[in-house]
Amino acid sequence: MPPVVYQEKCKGCGKCEEICPGDLLELTEEKKIVCRAPRDCWDCMACVKACQFGALETRIPYQLGYYPARLIPKMRDKEIEWTSIDIHGKVEKFLVKTRNK
């Protein structure tokens, strides 16, 4: 399931395109990101974590949480803040330390 792209938030920086291990993202002529092969995306979330503008978001597959459940990472210097929103709108936040120096 490819990431949801909020075109109005996309600044066209290309960081998500650079980091995608499947080389699935590309910038359009309008400098907006699109996934050129949605079926090939394996939800690694590298692009979502790389986006500083919140333009990309992962939707939790219906097998795990049903729409509109979401999982949103926010990269920090030495940790990732994960925001989980369940199908009822309940929000939980978790901090996970990274191995970055």
The residues that bridge with 82 in the sheet, in sequence order, are 73, 94
The residues that bridge with 59 in the sheet, in sequence order, are 70
Q: Assign 100 a pLDDT band (cuts: 50, 70, 90).
A: low
Give me the pLDDT at residue 53, please. Answer: 93
61 or 29: whose pLDDT is higher? Answer: 29
Q: State whether residue 42 is helix, strand or coil.
A: coil
Give me the pLDDT at residue 64, please. Answer: 56
Strands 70-75 and 56-59: antiparallel
Written as one letter, the residue type at 101 is: K
DSSP letter for 48, please: H
pLDDT tens digits, 32-78: 999 988 889 888 889 999 999 999 988 766 555 666 788 888 888 88
pTM greater than 0.85: no
pLDDT tens digits, 9-22: 999 999 999 999 99
